[in-house]
């Protein structure tokens, strides 16, 4: 019998997905956080289930040769980067294998042509957006009792619960009441870290409390920093529970004086309970309230709450592969399904006759229309609605646009609705490119297309998010009977 708090010595056999590794103890499967295949570790049990237990590394006794020193001092607690302790080449190998395994195990596709994964050019500072939370309770790091003896010992860093007025950082995984108080993150940019520190100092000095979801009161809620990676624009969005113009005005003044790179400062006021960094009201305190970024030769306007791919350079690469796999011709009509703010539609628009983009979020469709107009693009049409309904019953939009020559499908992590897959199968379109952020749903959806004659010609995995378990892939489908 295992119990919470038990300390186990484990030899890690393999690395599974989502940042956990696998070991056995007395015949029981142990999912281990913070480990790596080839490690021998001491780990503390934090969850026991009938068929497995879950444990977290507290000490590395023998390090796997694929280990490396995590660069971030919050690694292991923040929960954002699960794999900073794994050398990048090994991370890529896991991700590649994960795509192959999902296609085989979930899709039943053996021997698929999965091309060698494309790694990210930037291993750190690759994100163009980070969202920090304020809180009145926090995990704070306890300084190590003794200096680390091995380079891997930092994984055992301890944190404790603390109470003060204002903390600023990320919510600790599974502790949504507490914030991990941080002064830097390796994923956005040094400038963004400097901004984080200034805003933290200012909020502490303000004598205003952080918003508390328990009492539904307080002031400071979120800090969102967005950067145009290809333009240099920077937006600081302060999300608050109340409207206090004098507080944000002074903060905007200090931010713009200290960091001339900042092009706009806005204040979203969110008086709802929902813990989202989106306000019912937005006030602009500096600049225009909008930044721009570029993908390929196209310019995109980004306001505080618009959706935009979080790794600009990675998105450009992903879209280029999708464009190549679509083998576009000037006479083509393309459906960009799950188009978001129309970035793929706009990216491919110069190579085809027409693109029709569809997305369920009305504001994304409005952004897509605006983006097309901004780039003087006239051959893109955007339609708001649930794809399943637009394919099964509300089909009037197809009258002038049928049949399409190419489908580019980029669904959310949950994949496609089965009815949408079925309709697409029936449409019998020769060229289909499936852009996926979840190999499991890619495999499941293509398996549903198989009875219609589709199979996978090739898959290109692309790593856009180093140190996390996320993996994108572009699959080219083929159908000999179309
Ligand atoms: C992975 S994002 C793709 C965004 C876009 N292609 C891009 O690269 O920026 C998935 C999109 O699917 C949309 N979506 C989710 N469910 C949908 C549905 N049932 N019908 C239409 N769009 C949906 C979401 O709003 C989101 O914009």
Q: Model confidence over 280-320: pLDDT tens digits?
A: 999 999 999 999 999 999 999 999 988 899 999 999 999 99
Spacing, Cα 197 to ligand 1 middle (Å): 34
Structure tokens at 225: 């920093």
pTM tops 0.95, yes or no:
no
Going by their DSSP bridges, the two strands 14-15 and 7-11 should be labelled as unpaired
Give pLDDT, residue 15: 81
Nearest alpha carbon, ligand 1 atom 19: 386
Nearest alpha carbon, ligand 1 atom 2: 412
Higher per-residue confidence, 274 vs 118: 118
Q: Which atom of ligand 1 is nearest to the CA of 315?
A: 8
Whether the CB of 277 sits within 6 Å of ligand 1: no
Q: Which atom of ligand 1 is nearest to the CA of 411?
A: 10
In whole angstroms, give the CA distance from residue 41 to residue 64: 10
Q: Which CATH superfamily is domain 7-67 in?
A: Nucleic acid-binding proteins (2.40.50.140)
CATH topology of domain 101-122+311-478: Rossmann fold (3.40.50)
Which residues make beta-bridge pairs with 347? Answer: none
Spacing, Cα 263 to ligand 1 middle (Å): 29
Give pLDDT, residue 140: 61
pLDDT above 90: percentage of residues in the chain: 84
Which part of the chain is CATH 2.40.50.1070?
Answer: 129-303
Spacing, Cα 372 to ligand 1 middle (Å): 17
Q: Which atom of ligand 1 is nearest to the CA of 386?
A: 20
Provide the 3-class DSSP secondary structure of residue 114.
Answer: strand
- The 10 Å Cβ neighbour count of residue 161 is 12
Q: Residue 145: CB partners within 8 Å, gap ≥ 6?
A: none
What stretch of H or E contains 199? helix 190-205
Give pLDDT, residue 174: 66
Give pLDDT, residue 154: 42
Query: Is the confidence at residue 353, as pLDDT, over 50?
Result: yes
In whole angstroms, give the CA distance from residue 70 to residue 142: 17
Question: Which amino acids are annotated catalytic?
Answer: 437
Q: 287, 312, 283, 284: which is closest to 298 by C-alpha?
A: 312
Q: Tell me which of 296, 339, 359, 438 to substitute to probe ligand 1's pocket, judged by most ligand atoms within 8 Å of the beta carbon.
A: 359
The pLDDT tens digits of the residues spanning 63-114 come to 999 999 999 998 878 878 989 999 999 999 999 999 999 999 999 999 999 9
Whether the CB of 475 sits within 6 Å of ligand 1: no
Which part of the chain is CATH 2.40.50.140?
Answer: 7-67
**pLDDT confidence bin for 18, thresholds 50/70/90:** confident
Whether the CB of 343 sits within 6 Å of ligand 1: yes
Spacing, Cα 341 to ligand 1 middle (Å): 9
Structure tokens at 356: 């029709």
Which part of the chain is CATH 3.40.50.150?
Answer: 101-122+311-478
Whether the CB of 309 sits within 6 Å of ligand 1: yes
Give pLDDT, residue 159: 45
In whole angstroms, give the CA distance from residue 41 to residue 25: 12
Spacing, Cα 264 to ligand 1 middle (Å): 28
In whole angstroms, give the CA distance from residue 244 to residue 220: 11
State the residue for tokens 């302060």.
238
Give pLDDT, residue 152: 45
Give pLDDT, residue 141: 55
Please tell me the class of the 129-303 domain: mainly beta
């Amino acid at each position: 019998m295992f119990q919470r708090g038990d300390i186990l010595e484990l030899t890690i056999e393999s690395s599974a997905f989502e940042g956990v590794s696998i070991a056995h103890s007395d015949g029981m499967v142990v999912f281990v956080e913070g480990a790596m295949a080839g490690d021998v570790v001491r780990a503390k049990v934090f969850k026991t289930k009938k068929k497995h237990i879950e444990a977290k590394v507290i000490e590395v006794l023998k390090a796997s040769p694929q280990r490396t020193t995590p660069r971030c001092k919050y690694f292991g607690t923040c929960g954002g980067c699960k794999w900073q302790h794994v050398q990048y080449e090994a991370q890529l190998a896991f991700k590649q294998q994960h795509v192959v395994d999902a296609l085989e195990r979930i899709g039943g596709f053996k021997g698929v042509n999965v091309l060698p994964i494309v790694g990210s050019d930037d291993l750190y500072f690759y994100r163009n957006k980070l969202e920090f939370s304020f809180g009145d309770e926090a995990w704070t790091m306890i300084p190590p009792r003794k200096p680390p003896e091995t380079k891997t010992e930092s994984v055992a860093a301890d944190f404790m619960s603390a109470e003060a007025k204002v903390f600023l950082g990320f919510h600790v995984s599974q502790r949504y009441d507490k914030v991990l108080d941080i002064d830097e993150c390796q994923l956005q940019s040094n400038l963004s870290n400097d901004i984080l520190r200034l805003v933290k100092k200012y909020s502490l000095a303000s004598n205003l409390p952080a918003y508390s979801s328990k009492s539904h009161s307080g002031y400071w809620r979120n800090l969102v920093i967005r950067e145009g990676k290809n333009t240099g624009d920077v937006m600081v969005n302060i999300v608050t529970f109340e409207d206090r113009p004098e507080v944000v005005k002074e903060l905007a003044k200090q931010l713009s004086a200290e960091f001339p790179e900042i092009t706009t400062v806005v204040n979203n006021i969110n008086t709802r309970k929902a813990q989202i960094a989106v306000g019912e009201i937005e006030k602009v305190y500096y600049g225009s309230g909008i930044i721009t970024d570029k993908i390929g030769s196209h310019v995109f306007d980004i306001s505080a709450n618009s959706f935009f791919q979080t790794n600009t350079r990675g998105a450009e690469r992903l879209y280029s592969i999708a464009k190549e796999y679509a083998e576009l011709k000037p006479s083509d009509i393309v459906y960009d399904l799950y188009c978001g703010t129309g970035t793929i539609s706009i990216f491919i628009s110069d190579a085809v006759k027409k693109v029709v983009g569809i997305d369920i979020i009305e504001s994304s469709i409005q952004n897509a229309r605006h983006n097309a107009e901004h780039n003087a693009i006239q051959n893109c049409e955007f339609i708001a609605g649930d794809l399943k309904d637009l394919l099964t019953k509300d089909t009037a939009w197809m009258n002038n646009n049928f049949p399409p020559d190419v489908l580019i499908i980029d669904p959310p992590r949950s994949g496609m609705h089965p009815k949408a897959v079925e309709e697409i199968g029936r449409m019998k379109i020769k060229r289909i490119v499936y852009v996926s952020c979840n190999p499991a749903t890619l495999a499941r959806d293509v398996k549903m297309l198989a009875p219609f004659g589709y199979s996978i010609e090739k898959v290109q995995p692309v790593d856009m998010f180093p140190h996390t378990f996320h993996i994108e892939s572009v699959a080219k489908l083929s159908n000999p009977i179309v």
